[in-house]
Structure 1
C-alpha cells in the first residue's frame, strides 16, 4: 500500500476542447461548448486519484501565463502541485469534436525547451516529496531526452520507489529500466514499442510476456476492442461495459489511475484491478471532449464489466 504518490508530466498542456458542426479546409470553423482543463497523461492520473481522495502530488515542467493557468486549474480541482517553473511557455493543445458523431481532431504541439538545469530541479522535487510510487506519463518536450527519463527512473528504482509508465511507444522502446511496476501502452504504442504488428489477444499476450522480466504488470489497451493485463500469475482480458462513446481523450489515463488506486489500496486480484481500470476508462469514454469520468458512474460500470483469464 502506497501513502505517497507523485505524478510526473514532462510536457503538460492547457487543453481546450469544443464542438463544431463541420470542419472544412480553408474555411473558418466555429467552435462551441468550450472546455478548458489541465492536460497531460500523468496530470490526468493525478486528477482522477484526487477525485478518489487518494493523496497525490502532480509535478512536471510548466512556464509562462499558460503554465500558471494549468496550475490554477489543478488547484481548483484540489490537486496538490509542485511543478518546476521554466522560462518557456507551457503548450496549448486543441481538440475539436464533430457534433453529429463525436469524432474528434486533436492538435498537439511540441512544448517548451527544457534545460539540464530544469531536469536537476525536477530531481530535487522528487527527492523533496519522497514518493513511494511514481507515475510518469505523456510525451517528452524538446530538451528532455529519453536519457533524462531513464536516469530519473533508475534513481527512483534505486531508492525503492515503484514506477508506472504511460508514454508513447517510441519512448517505451528506449526505456532501460531495471524494474517497473506497470507499463501501460495502447495497441499502437505496443506495436511501436516492440517493432511488431501483433494484433490478436494471443499474439499480444505472448509478446508482452517478454517484458515481465522488468515489469510486474503489462497492460495493453485497444486489443480486440478491450484490454489485456499480463502478469507472472497469468493474463486477463476484458471489455468496457456497453456505452455511447463521446470521446477517447483521457480514457487510458483514467484506466491507469484506477489500476494505480487499486494496487495502492493493496488489491492483489488482477481481475479486479483490470475491471476497475476498464470501468474508469468507460466513465471517461462516455464524457464529451476532454472531460474525465465522474465517480458516480464507476460502481455501476464496474459491475457491468466482464474480465476473464486468457
Structure 2
C-alpha cells in the first residue's frame, strides 16, 4: 500500500467569474468545492490507476469533516490525525483566462499535537510499502518535522518520495536519514543552492552533484514543457516530453509524484519510472479537474516520451 501524507490539507474552492472587479460585489453562479492539498491529489491519481492507497495527515473542524466526506465519495481510504484547529480553505478565482488565489495559512499545531501525530504516524508506516509526503508544513511544526518523519520511516526500512520546498527541504537535506526521492522544480533547486540554475545538461549535472544532495538516491527536477532532468545514484537522465494541449496544469507535479512512487514501488526500470511519472503528470494537465487522469490516453503519451542517459 502507498501512503500519501498531506500535513496541511484544504478545502479547495473554485470561483469562475467572467470578469473579476475589485472594490465591488462579484457574484458566482457555480462553485466547486473539493478536498484539496498536494498529497490528496497524489492519492486521487493513485486511486484512479487502481493502486491501493491510504491518505493521511492532519485535519480539524468541520472543514476536516468535509475533506473526509469528499474522500469517502471517491472511495479513497484515509486515516487522518484529528487536531483542535480548523483545516483551511484555499480559494481560486478563475477570471479572464487568469487565476487569482487566496490561500489561508491554516491551523496552528500545538507541541502536544505534534508529538501525538508522530505516534499516530508510526502506526501508519507499518502498512506502507512506500510513502509520499507532499506540500507545506502547517504553522506550529518545526522546519525539521519532515526530517523526523523520514527518520521514523528509515527505522522501519520504508522509502519516502518527498515533494516539498524551502526550509523543510533544507532540513531534510542536512539530516542523516534521507528520502529515496525528491522532486524540486528548477526554481526550487536554485533556491536550495543559492543561485539560478541554467537549463542545460552540464549546469544541471554540476548542481545535482553538489555534496548538499549526497545520500539522495533519486532527484527528479521538473522543468515544465521541457520535461525533466533526473539523477539516479550516479546516472543522469534527460526526459523529453511531447507537446500537448494543456487544459489545467495545477496538480501535474502531484500526479508525477504519484507515478514515480508507484513505479518505484513496483521496482521498475529507471526508464519506466521516469516515463510513468511524467505520463501521469501530462495526463493531469490535459484534464479540467485537478488530480484527475484519463488512462485511455496513457499509452499514446508514454510512447512519445524520450529518456536519454546524458
CA distance 1:233–1:10, shift in 2 (3 Å): same
Q: Determine if the alignment matches structure 1 residue 56 to structure 2 residue 53.
A: yes
Query: Matched residue of 1:191: which SS?
Result: helix
TM-superposed CA distance for 1:291, in Å, is 4.8
Match of 1:174 among 171, 175, 178: 171
Q: Deviations over 1:26-81 (max 9, x none)?
A: 24344455332211112211111111222221111101111001111112112111
Residue 79 (structure 1) aligned with residue 76 (structure 2): yes
Aligned partners of 2:218, 2:244: CA distance in 1, in Å?
27
In structure 1, the partner of 2:277 is 277
The answer for the alignment partner of 1:42 in structure 2 is 39
Alignment of 1:186-205 (within 5 A): 186-202=185-201, 203-205=203-205
Residue correspondence of structure 1 range 43-192 to structure 2 within 5 A: 43-98=40-95, 101=97, 103-129=98-124, 130=126, 131-175=128-172, 176-177=174-175, 178-192=177-191
1:77-97 deviations in Å (ceiling 9; x for gaps):
121111011111110111223
Q: CA RMSD in A?
A: 2.0
Q: 1:121 to 1:98 in 2, by over 3 A?
A: same
Q: Which runs of 5+ in 1 are unaligned?
A: none
Per the alignment, residue 258 of structure 2 pairs with 257
Contact persistence 1:136–1:163 (CA under 8 A): yes
Aligned counterparts of 2:262 and 2:16: Cα–Cα separation in 1: 32
Once residues 208 and 236 of structure 1 are traced to their aligned partners in structure 2, the CA distance between those partners, rounded to angstroms, is: 12
Output the CA distance in 1 between the equivalents of 2:31 and 2:104: 19
User: For the residues of structure 2 that align with 1:222 and 1:33, how far apart are their CA atoms?
Assistant: 34
8 Å CA contact 1:17–1:94 kept in 2: the answer is yes
Deviation at 1:171, TM superposition (A): 2.1
1:289 deviates by 5.2
Secondary structure of 2:209's partner? helix
- In structure 2, how many angstroms separate the alpha carbons of the residues matched to 1:199 and 1:35? 39
Q: Deviations over 1:179-214 (max 9, x none)?
A: 221001111211112222113132123212335522
Contact 1:212/1:232, CA 8 A, preserved across alignment:
no
How many residues of Structure 1 are paired with residues of Structure 2 in the alignment? 304
What's the secondary structure of 1:146's corresponding residue? coil
- Partners in 2 of 1:98 and 1:237 — Cα distance? 36
Residues 7 and 57, structure 2, Cα contact 8 Å, conserved in 1 = yes
Bigger shift: residues 8-17 or 298-307 = 298-307
Q: TM-score, normalised to structure 1's length?
A: 0.90
What secondary structure sits across from 2:180 in the alignment? strand
Residue of structure 2 equivalent to 1:213 = 214
Task: Confirm or deny: 8 A CA contact 1:63 1:85 kept in the other structure.
Answer: yes
SS at match of 1:47: helix
Q: Does the CA-based 8 Å contact 1:14-1:38 persist in structure 2? A: yes
**Alpha carbons of 1:31 and 1:168: their partners in 2 closer, same or farther (altered >3 Å)?**
farther
1:9 and 2:10 aligned: no
